[in-house]
Amino acid sequence: MEAILNTPIQVLDNILALNLDINIWSARAKLTAEDFGETELPPDELASLGSKKICDPEKLKVFNKLKKRAFTLLDRNGVRFLSGWAIPENKAGDIIAELCRIRDEFLTEKAAFIASYDLAIEDWINAHPSWSSIIAGSTVSREYVEKRIDISWQLYRVMPVMGIDSVQAMEESGLHDEVENLGGTLFYEITKDATDIWKKVFEGKTEVTHKALSPLKTMREKLAGLSFVEPHVAPVIEILDATLGRVPKRGLISGASLFMLQGLVSLLKDGKALLTQAEAMMASPTPENVLAAFFGEYEQNEPVLELEGEIEEAEPVFVPAFSTGTIDSLGLW
């Protein structure tokens, strides 16, 4: 039977919602018929005009890079919820501290861009002399651009609607549905991340370095931080711990050790198989045999590969807990 994931509403006591607002000026303006002079254009019902770049897009790339960094931070520590993310309350301090660092860098870059804005526009026009009139006719003021580059967020606690006159409004608030889907959303994100890890790190490889473990450790930390959301998370953490604990501490990872990691990622990117395995472990927990159950009877006897010259030091590997009791459910399950 396929596992059913229904996160209880009480999980709201342990999470905070974070909404992130990052606005970046597009540096574009709409093309108009006047931009083409006497050139005959197709009628509006046949085709529509696009946009023109009125500033060098390269000068705005830093803002998109910082936006991606902020999204990655929240994706690594939280799960998509409402219009933003649900994050563990006990991690809020660290997450906000990192967001503040990103914001400070964002605002520093904004100040530098605004200070050189007029020169940037002039350089862009000079770089495209044949189209200077089209660009110059669509430029906007520095003050306009300044208002359209910004970063902010709102951190808040979510509570069900209670004590109002309309029973229907309380029952049909939609919040219960959003919370119930948290566990499913978390597992969807894990399978999506595992698919990316497979394509970028393990697909077609016969050997990898210990850097290949980094995204798996990041995934493990995300699951550990959100373990109270769904009881099926605990067995997945055990599978990760058991696998990472058997990887050689030094040298290239190949042979049976690599096959073990590739099997792990293959399981993680198959949501249905992952939940089935977690369900089986919850029904008959034998954590010390997690790998034997999934990979077959296998003992790690592979020798450590010694490399000539400098040997890459592995990042610390998590020590397997081998017990669902070590995962804090915060009383929710």
pLDDT tens per residue, range 196-206: 999 999 999 99
CB 226 within 8 A of CB 92: no
Q: Which helix (H) or strand (E) holds 151?
A: strand 150-156
Determine, yes or no, domain membership for 272.
Answer: yes
CA distance 206 to 253: 9
Report the pLDDT value the prediction gives residue 9, as an integer from 0 to 100: 85
**Tens digits of per-residue pLDDT, 188-224?**
999 999 999 999 999 999 999 999 999 999 999 999 9
Determine, yes or no, domain membership for 175.
Answer: no
Angle at which helix 233-244 crosses helix 214-225, to 10 degrees, equals 150
- The β-bridge relationship of strands 51-53 and 253-254 is unpaired
pTM of structure? 0.79
Is the confidence at residue 132, as pLDDT, over 70?
yes
Same domain, 132 and 191: no
CA distance 256 to 258: 5
Distances (CA, A) of 219 to 9, 79, 224, 226, 227: 24, 12, 9, 11, 12
Is the confidence at residue 315, as pLDDT, over 50?
no
Q: Which of 58-62, 107-111, 196-200, 320-324 has the lowest mean pLDDT?
A: 320-324
Same domain, 126 and 221: no
Is the confidence at residue 330, as pLDDT, over 60?
no
Amino acid at 46: L
Domain total for the chain? 2
Same domain, 148 and 190: no
Determine, yes or no, domain membership for 290.
Answer: yes
Name the residue with higher pLDDT: 313 or 88.
Answer: 88
Determine, yes or no, domain membership for 300.
Answer: yes
Same domain, 30 and 134: yes
CA distance 219 to 227: 12
Q: Which domain holds residue 281?
A: 181-326
Same domain, 239 and 283: yes
Task: Work out the average pLDDT over 5-14.
Answer: 86
Determine, yes or no, domain membership for 62.
Answer: yes
Average pLDDT over the chain reads 82
CA distance 182 to 188: 10
Is the confidence at residue 67, as pLDDT, over 60?
yes
Is the confidence at residue 16, as pLDDT, over 80?
yes
Same domain, 47 and 111: yes
Determine, yes or no, domain membership for 172.
Answer: no
In sequence order, what are the residues at sequence separation of 6 or more whose Cβ sits closer than 8 angstroms to the Cβ of residue 80? 86, 185, 189
Same domain, 16 and 152: yes
CB 228 within 8 A of CB 329: yes
Is the confidence at residue 18, as pLDDT, over 70?
yes
